[in-house]
Amino acid sequence: MAMAVPEPVATRRLALDCRTLLDHRPSRGVCGCCGALRPRYKRLVDNIFPEDPEDGLVKANMEKLTFYALSAPEKLDRIGAYLSERLSRDVARHRYGYVCIAMEALDQLLMACHCQSINLFVESFLKMVRKLLEADKPNLQILGTNSFVKFANIEEDTPSYHRSYDFFVSRFSEMCHSSFEDPDIRTKIRMAGIKGLQGVVRKTVNDELQANIWDPQHMDKIVPSLLFNLQSGEGTESRSPSPLQASKKEKESPAELTERCFRELLGRAAYGNIKNAVTPVLMHLDNHSLWEGKTFAVRCFKIIMYSIQSQHSHLVIQQLLGHLDANSKSSATVRAGIVEVLLEAAAIAASGSVGPTVLEVFNTLLRHLRLSVDYELTGSYDCTNIGTKIIKEHEERQLQEAVIRTIGSFANTLPTYQRSEVMLFIMGKIPIPGMHPTLPSTGSGPEVNRMIQVMLLKSLRQVTCGFQTTNMLTALPNSFLDPLLSFALLEDAEIRLLVLEILVSLIDRHDNLPKFSTISIISDISVLKLKVDKCSRQDNLFMKKHAQHLYRHIYLCSKEQSSVQPHFEKLYSLLALISMELANEEVVVDLIRVALALQDLALSCEEMLPVYNRCAVHALSSAYLNLISQLTTVPAFCQHVHEVIEMRQKESPYLLPEDVFIENPKIPKTLENLEGELLFQQAKITEVLGGSGYNTERLATPYVPQFTDEDRLSKRKSIGETISLQVEVESRNSPEKEERTPAEEITFETLKNAIVDSVGVEEQEKERRRQVVEKFQKAPFEEIAAHCGARATMLQSKLNQIFEITIRPPPSPSGTITSSYGQTQSRSVPVYEMKFPDLCVY
């Protein structure tokens, strides 16, 4: 049918109306003559949409559109704007088939175009993705997320100064917490949210022009969202550390995807971003009470420690220590959970990664150990926002054990020289009787001191496990060894056992300790495959300096009535390890003398040892002499020891370890005098060893321990006795006791001598004070009592003199008094007329 020719203005209006119509309908539904009036980019965009959306994208037309976009990149932003307009309209009209086609077209254009004009196109693309993410349909949310992930993997050639991803961080985090009713759809939405967060991180983490993704406002949303999904799959074990790589599984659980995303996030964290990444983890564990379970918290920090760069490990550890300080008033289970995480983190950390403040780490742990002891003894503490809270003793004990294990774990990451410093540091924290006062504490008394001693010695035992050094002299200085040995003489059996365990760990440098865990008579020690090295020069110097101290403490520990089987086993281990690690000819002779002295100790009735202890000392002596005889490889010595052991097996098996160190010891009610072939003969041993070149004069001399300062100091029950001793010493040094010396004429020689001797004056004064203290420490009780009695007598005589001067008989009428000896005495002065010194008037 023919149409009338319109006016030019009407023609123009008709064209505009047709274009408007085409903007709202597919091009194939309009006649071709009107479609030719539309811009080319719109026609190319319209042509990619089929009549039936189920047919999918028209690939041939999509290739044309892509070619056009590459040929005319200035049109790319208009193409994007038009696609965005169509997608918004299709979403509003619920034509989701066309929505999928539009997003597929956008994805292909993004992958193909990298020109400078892509920024404006990206704005349209992100606008469309945002539209999809705001939709209520889960499929649209997932579609928008997948497109964003593809976009995140594209490396743009030109920077963007104004692009923002705040909405995407918030929306993806919200999707991670989806609570959709259908579990399958809920899982898909959560996985889409995780992938979206991963895309945001990839797109922004390395672009300095983008918003800093490491800011707390973003990390406080990203990290908790990841942890929420990681917690939902807590049953899945954390994978071992490996390079970041995508899983090849077609079906991946949200927990696995979350772990992979979390590892990637942490792997990209620089030095300054570690704190912002870890802080939300700590807050999440606090808010959801996840420290108490320990499992999830440990898993999180395993992922963190394996994912971050190894040189940043100490930053995580410092944050954990700070968080432990912040929770010092929390329950014991919370603090134990944090300590367990610290334990795992220290085990993963590389050597030396504890950081520059090594001692501060141990100081923090020891402080919390002390706090736990105080809480346990007081039974309660002021809890934050709750008031006074009653604690459970077993929970505090579990916390203490966890702290001790953590201290050992940290120590294992340190080199030898730093571990020696840590050992000295811990020793300085232990309240040592008679040497320095205890640490300040909310509680006081002997029980506090004892518990602190036990806990810190357990910590020291953990630090010394596996400790190996080539130079014992430098690794174990006097400032460490002397206080440690003083604990070996305390009456507390648990403390003595801890000290013996520490000494054994320090001396065992070739892992021979497990072979001497029990006391037994070994007929052939070659089956033990012992590792014995020649004693080095440093070891000889160490033994020359400290051997007598070690022997004395071994002897005195053996005579303690509270010693039980573990004590004797550790004493045997200590003797055996000294024989193999630190022994030269002189040391071997002294060790044999000590063993024979132990036999004499068990025979003596003066010590009043129980029967079990006497049998145990006999068994200890026989087991060690059996070992040392085979180490010396002197046949006659071995034969003598073997004969005595055989005789004991026949007549007195209760003198051998096999009948003593068992669950039910087979010991007699009384131990009669033992003589003859049942005993090791010192004369016989001296004779046989003298023939092999050993020092017979020294061998023939019985060993007698020398008592020193620490022997008596260690027996003191409280620090108050030491303080009273110090007061006594100060009173002796008071000015009243000093003799007044006449004024000395000052000459040139006097000044010269003063200058020359000024350095030694202080040392002489210290030596004099030391001698005074040593006198009171070493002197027998009777001597000290006699000294105090003499002082009391002297004081009484002075008082009598004062009374004679101040108190006189009443005056006689004649004004004089005639004594019984006929001597005339002066008239007494009334009290109100007497002149007293100013110090006596108050």
**Which pLDDT belongs to residue 731?**
42
Give the model's pLDDT for residue 589.
Answer: 93
Asked if residue 671 is part of any domain, the answer here is yes
Consecutive H or E run containing 383? strand 380-383
In a domain, 722, yes or no: no
**pTM of this structure:** 0.70
Does 96 reside within a domain?
Answer: yes
| 618: in domain | yes
> How far from each other are the two terminal CA atoms of the chain, in whole angstroms?
138
80 φ, ψ to 5°? -65, -45
pLDDT in tens, 441-469: 444 567 888 889 999 999 999 999 888 88
737, amino acid identity: K
Question: Of 120, 114, 39, 44, whose CA–CA distance to 81 is shortest?
Answer: 120
Last-in-domain residue among 660, 687, 709: 709
Given a contact cutoff of 8 angstroms between Cβ atoms, the answer to whether 452 and 370 are in contact is yes
Helix (H) or strand (E) holding 98: helix 96-112
Last residue in a domain, options 663, 685, 709: 709
Question: Where a domain ends, among 677, 709, 741?
Answer: 709
Whether 595 is in a domain gets the answer: yes
Q: Which two tokens stand for residue 15?
A: 């064209």
Torsion, CA 88, CA 92, CA 95, CA 97, rounded to 10: 40
- For position 45, what pLDDT does the model report? 83
The three-state secondary structure class of 390 is strand
Number of domains in the chain: 2
Q: Tell me the β-bridge partners of 206.
A: none
CB 346 within 8 A of CB 305: no
Residue 562 within a domain: yes
Residue 722's pLDDT is what?
38
From CA 559, how far away is CA 27, in angstroms rounded? 107
Residue 120 structural domain: 36-158
Q: What angle do CA 109, 115, 119 make, to 5 degrees?
A: 80
Q: Would you state the pLDDT for residue 440?
A: 43
**From the centroid of its chain, how far is CA 593?**
43
- CA-nearest of 462, 243, 227 to 346 is 462
CA distance linking residue 95 with residue 89, whole number of Å: 9
Task: Flag whether 736 is in a domain.
Answer: no
In angstroms, the CA 57 to CA 482 distance is 86
- Residue ranges of the chain with pLDDT lower than 70? 1-37, 114-120, 156-162, 206-211, 233-251, 350-357, 381-389, 433-445, 707-762, 806-842
Q: How far is CA 542 from CA 168, 407, 698, in A?
A: 68, 28, 20
Q: Is residue 148 part of a domain?
A: yes
pLDDT of residue 477: 87
Q: Return d(Cα 408, Cα 467) in angstroms, integer.
A: 11
Q: Position 137: which residue type?
A: K
How far, in Å, CA of 620 to CA of 575, rounded? Answer: 10
* 453 contacts: CB under 8 Å, gap ≥ 6: 430, 431, 487, 492, 495
H-type alpha helices, 652-718: 657-660, 682-690, 696-699, 709-713
pLDDT at 98: 84
3-state secondary structure 55-82: HCCCHHHHHHHHHHHHHCHHHHHHHHHH
Q: How many helices (H) and strands (E) does the chain have?
A: 35, 4
